[in-house]
């Protein structure tokens, strides 16, 4: 039952992403994960929503969890590339602050 509820919340989160309502999407994905923390699409959606909100650290963490749960996903290569870009930007940002 919790899994079905979580899957419905992921669908709502995806719709919120499509509408550009990123805060609402984050809420939906977080609620989905509260119901089933192993639901990989919720982690992916959460990563996208965080990225759209310019919260790159949270996006990176969500993407990493997504890959832990679904390492052979069809978009795994793209997600790994996104993580690498986020890591590079974080390093550049840290260098500028010194």
Q: Is pLDDT above 60 for 84?
A: yes
How far is Cα 59 from Cα 53, in angstroms, rounded to an integer?
A: 9
> Residue 86 in contact with residue 56, Cβ under 8 Å?
yes
Taken in order of first residue, the domains within the chain and their CATH numbers are 2-97 (1.25.40.10)
pLDDT band at 13 (very low <50, low <70, confident <90, very high): very high
CA nearest 26: which of 38, 3, 43, 39?
A: 43
Could you read off the pLDDT of 36-65 as tens digits, one per residue? 999 999 999 999 999 999 999 999 999 999
Q: Which residue carries 């939906």 as its tokens?
A: 28
How far is Cα 98 from Cα 9, in angstroms, rounded to an integer?
A: 42
């Amino acid at each position: 039952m919790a899994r079905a509820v979580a899957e419905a919340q992921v669908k709502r989160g995806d719709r919120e992403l499509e509408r550009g309502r990123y805060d609402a999407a984050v809420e939906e994905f977080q609620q989905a994960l509260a119901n089933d923390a192993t639901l990989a699409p919720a982690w992916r959606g959460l990563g996208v929503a965080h990225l759209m909100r310019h919260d790159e650290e949270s996006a990176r963490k969500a993407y990493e969890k997504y890959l832990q749960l679904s390492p052979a996903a069809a978009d795994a290569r793209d997600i790994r590339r996104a993580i690498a870009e986020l890591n590079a930007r974080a390093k550049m940002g840290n260098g500028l602050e010194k």
